[in-house]
Amino acid sequence: MSTPTAPTSQPNVTDDHLSDTSLGTRVKVCGIVEPTELDVLAARGVDFVGLWWGVPGGPHDLELAKWRELAETAAATEGLTPVLVTFAKDAEQLRETLEGSAVGWIQLHGYPTPGTIRKIKAIAVGEHPIRVIKVLHIRGGECVEAPLLASYEKAGVDVFLFDVVTEDGRVGSTGQSIDPAVVAPLADKLTRPFLLAGGISATNRDEYASLAAHPRFLGIDVDTNARTANGKISSDNVEAISRVWKERAAKE
């Protein structure tokens, strides 16, 4: 096993304020593949940018060299925090992926066990801790991981993310709307902040007003609705989503 090296630049990703729910709504945009898209997000108040690696067959999955390049570019911006979005579960593999990068946040899709979370939290990237966003998958009106919520928290999950699983089992960036009535009782059981994903847009915030007012609501994660019909990131869409969700929160 090689010895971890210090990141090439100072991460802006492990500051506690990023998961502080009292400091306003966070916006995360997922599936970025080009540096120009990072410019769009940085100019429109986006907080987290999801960069895919280890997402087999995913439309925005990146080769490691490209992932590193985009992660470094995102970390160098004034406001963007890069997040490794992955299905990978091997802690050593993830450590090697993060090594030398300025990324300290990992979003875990799929169904890793709490024991796997503990191993990933123990990764050392220089002197900086790893923050874990664990996706909670809603399928058929139920949360697949509901029995494990407390165990995930004990294992060290920092933020949860509620997202939809399609009937055929597809996970992540499905564009299908999440049911707030399913999320609400689960959110009440959490002691960690949570993000909402699944069809979130600039036009449906009112449907999630009660969740947005929840004391552990951290923000939203968008992909499909941040894009035009051709699949490209839309400056107008991102601006509208960020404005509606952040400005409404500031006024409430």
d(CA 239, CA 222): 12
Percent of the chain with pLDDT over 90: 71
CATH number for region 16-251:
3.20.20.70
pLDDT given for residue 6 in this prediction? 35
Residue whose C-alpha is closest to residue 194's, from 69, 14, 25: 25
Provide, rounded to the nearest whole percent, the portion of the chain with pLDDT above 70.
Answer: 85
Strands (E), 72-128: 81-86, 105-108
> Tokens 């999955």 belong to which residue?
61
Among the listed residues 135, 130, 102, the one whose alpha carbon sits nearest the alpha carbon of residue 223 = 135
Strands 105-108 and 81-86: what pairing? parallel
What confidence tier does 1 reach under pLDDT thresholds 50, 70, 90? Answer: very low
Which pLDDT tens digit goes with each residue over 41-74? 999 999 999 999 999 988 899 999 999 999 999 9
- Is the predicted pLDDT of residue 238 greater than 60, yes or no? yes
Residue 100 confidence (pLDDT): 87
Q: What is the pLDDT of residue 174?
A: 58
Work out the end-to-end distance of the chain between its first and last CA atoms, rounded to an integer number of angstroms: 51
Look-up: residue for tokens 């986006």?
46
Domain boundaries, the chain: 16-251
